[in-house]
């Protein structure tokens, strides 16, 4: 009985974490550039009925990863809103090292440098990208390869990188940004990506899918709690018999 209780406890812990991830996804369904987090847990509801005859507790497999699939491209008409279509990331420079993001909602700081929503420098191929004095944002043109120009004069080019099969080595740090958890891995230049000026990449969270998962997790949690209660009742009955 104790082994089954431990299995149920592990399932409840895993399902609680799953619930937290789903609700976090739902909360970021409208966050630009957000990538949903997902878990590979056993979806026993697909093959088993939730009753005491067929459902076995302790079967939750919790392996967390990020879904970096493409989000919808939404037009904003802002000159420094830049969406990526295809595999790739913008590079954000910070004192603690490079961060990577799909959120291309940019602006300029007091020095004319292109920055993200947190005021951090957006990396260009040759460092920070600075809009010259006298050049207005309305004059900016950003081509499909990320080159920024004004009236035919090149100003700079976004540094765009890819991680290939190493995307699972990226860890979230907030504001739709990620950092490498293994410093020996080097990003490569993104080749299969198109830059679209005046657009934002929407979150890739699918509300219906998340709500379905939320219902499944809730039902699994309730089923495990029922098994826990049943186990306690059996133990209590055995104790009563033993005590005469």
**What would the pLDDT profile of 184-193 be if each residue is shown by its tens digit?**
899 999 999 9
Stretch among 15-24, 49-58, 90-99, 174-183 having the lowest mean pLDDT: 49-58
Q: Same structural domain for residues 174 and 64?
A: no
C-alpha to C-alpha distance for 128 and 113, rounded to whole angstroms? 6
Distances from the Cα of 80 to the Cα of 39, 197, 218, angstroms: 34, 7, 42
Our count of domains for the chain comes to 2
139: which 2 tokens?
């004059």
Angle CA 40–220–38, to nearest 5: 25
Q: Same structural domain for residues 27 and 87?
A: no
- Predicted confidence at residue 70, as pLDDT, reads 97
Mean of per-residue pLDDT scores for the chain: 84
8 Å CB contact between 106 and 79: no
Q: Same structural domain for residues 111 and 174?
A: yes
164: which 2 tokens?
């290939």
pLDDT at 42 > cutoff 70: no
- Predicted confidence at residue 2, as pLDDT, reads 53
pLDDT tier for residue 49 given thresholds of 50, 70 and 90: very low
pLDDT tier for residue 230 given thresholds of 50, 70 and 90: low
pLDDT at 244 > cutoff 60: no
Q: How many residues does the chain have?
A: 244
8 Å CB contact between 32 and 103: yes
Q: Same structural domain for residues 145 and 197?
A: yes
- Predicted confidence at residue 55, as pLDDT, reads 45
Contacts with 24 (C-beta within 8 Å, 6 or more apart), sequence order: 37
3-state class (DSSP) for residue 149 = strand
Q: Which of 13, 23, 11 is nearest to 213 (CA)?
A: 23
Q: Could you tell me which residue, 97 or 229, shows the higher pLDDT?
A: 97
Place of tokens 């409840």: 12
Helix boundaries (H) for 85-177:
none
Q: Same structural domain for residues 32 and 91?
A: no
- Predicted confidence at residue 235, as pLDDT, reads 47
Q: Same structural domain for residues 95 and 176?
A: yes
Q: Same structural domain for residues 59 and 92?
A: no
8 Å CB contact between 233 and 6: no
Tell me the percentage of the chain whose pLDDT exceeds 90: 61
pTM given for the model: 0.79
Q: Could you tell me the residue range of the domain that residue 54 belongs to?
A: 2-68+204-242
Partnered with residue 218 across adjacent β-strands are none
Q: Same structural domain for residues 79 and 45?
A: no
For residues 31-58, give the mean pLDDT: 59
Q: Same structural domain for residues 116 and 80?
A: yes
For residue range 51-75, list pLDDT tens digits in order: 444 445 445 555 668 999 999 999 9
Q: Same structural domain for residues 34 and 147?
A: no
Radius of gyration of the chain (CA): 25
Q: Same structural domain for residues 139 and 157?
A: yes
Q: Same structural domain for residues 81 and 196?
A: yes
């Amino acid at each position: 009985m104790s082994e089954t209780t431990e299995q149920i406890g592990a399932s409840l812990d895993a399902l609680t974490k799953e619930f937290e991830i789903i609700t976090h996804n739902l909360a970021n369904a409208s966050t630009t550039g957000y990538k949903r987090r997902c878990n590979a847990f056993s979806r026993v509801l697909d093959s088993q009925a939730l009753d005491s005859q067929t459902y076995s507790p302790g079967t939750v497999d919790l392996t967390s990863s990020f879904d970096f699939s493409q989000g919808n491209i939404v037009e904003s008409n802002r000159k420094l809103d830049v969406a990526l279509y295809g595999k790739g990331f913008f590079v954000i420079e910070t004192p603690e090292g490079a961060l990577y993001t799909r959120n291309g909602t940019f602006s300029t700081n007091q020095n004319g440098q292109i920055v993200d929503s947190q005021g951090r420098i957006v990396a260009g191929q040759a460092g920070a990208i600075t809009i010259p004095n006298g050049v207005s944002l309305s004059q900016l043109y950003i081509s499909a390869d990320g080159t920024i120009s004004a009236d035919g004069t090149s100003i700079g080019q976004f540094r765009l990188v890819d991680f290939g099969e190493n995307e699972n080595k990226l860890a979230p740090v907030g504001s739709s940004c990620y950092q490498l958890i293994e410093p020996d891995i080097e990003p490569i230049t993104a080749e299969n990506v198109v830059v679209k000026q005046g657009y934002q990449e929407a979150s890739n969270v699918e509300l219906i899918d998340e709500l379905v998962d939320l219902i499944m997790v809730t039902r699994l949690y309730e089923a495990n709690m029922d098994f826990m209660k049943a186990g306690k009742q059996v133990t209590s009955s055995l104790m009563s018999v033993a005590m005469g």
